[in-house]
């Protein structure tokens, strides 16, 4: 059994993060000892490691909650249910990457067309390009 501070130390999370996960339903409310301290189990520690790895993969709290629900009911759900959650996040990330690549291309074009000199910015090609009305 772990007290909240010990669990925080074991996971590298703050006590506030642990309480946040409890409020969001990712971590079940801890049992209380006779002294009213929260008591966490090894199962709670494993669940927090799962949450941390899911966060490192870029999954949202909502995604993590869904995956935890699927994990808790693994005997009655299918692998494709789990794959769907990750696939949806992957599609969002791929879309964001395409948007970032378009931003990058536009910024590169703006940057490359600018002289970057010490002249007055009155004739700066970047400012002119951004002032031009899109056709």
Distances (CA, A) of 99 to 13, 48, 70, 93, 132: 33, 33, 31, 10, 22
Contact 129, 110 (CB under 8 A): yes
- Tens of pLDDT, residue by residue over 83-99, are 999 999 999 999 999 99
Separation between Cα atoms, residue 95 and residue 18, nearest integer Å: 32
Distance CA 46, CA 28 (A): 13
Q: What does the pLDDT read at residue 33?
A: 77
What are the residues facing 32 on neighbouring strands?
Answer: 38
Q: What is the pTM of this model?
A: 0.79
Please give the average per-residue pLDDT across 113-117, as a whole number: 87
Q: Is 126 a residue whose pLDDT tops 80?
A: yes
| Whether pLDDT at 133 is above 80 | no
pLDDT in tens, 27-84: 988 888 788 788 899 999 999 999 999 999 999 999 999 999 999 999 999 999 999 9
H and E: helices and strands count for the chain: 6, 2
pLDDT of the residue at 103:
97
Determine the Cα angle at 91 with ends 85 and 93, to 5°.
105
97 is written with which tokens? 């990457």
Instruction: Tell me what pLDDT residue 134 has.
Output: 55
């Amino acid at each position: 059994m772990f007290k909240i501070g010990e669990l925080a130390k074991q996971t590298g999370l703050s006590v506030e993060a642990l309480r946040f996960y409890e409020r969001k339903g990712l971590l079940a409310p801890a049992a209380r000892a006779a002294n009213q301290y929260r008591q966490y189990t090894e199962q709670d520690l494993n669940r927090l490691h799962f949450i941390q790895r899911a966060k490192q993969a870029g999954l949202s709290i909502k995604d993590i909650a869904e995956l935890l629900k699927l994990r808790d009911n693994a005997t009655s759900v299918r692998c494709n249910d789990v794959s769907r959650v990750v696939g949806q996040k992957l599609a969002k990330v791929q879309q964001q990457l395409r948007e970032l690549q378009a931003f990058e291309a536009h910024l590169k074009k703006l940057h490359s067309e600018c002289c970057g000199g010490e002249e007055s910015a009155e004739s700066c090609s970047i400012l002119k390009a951004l002032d031009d009305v899109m056709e």
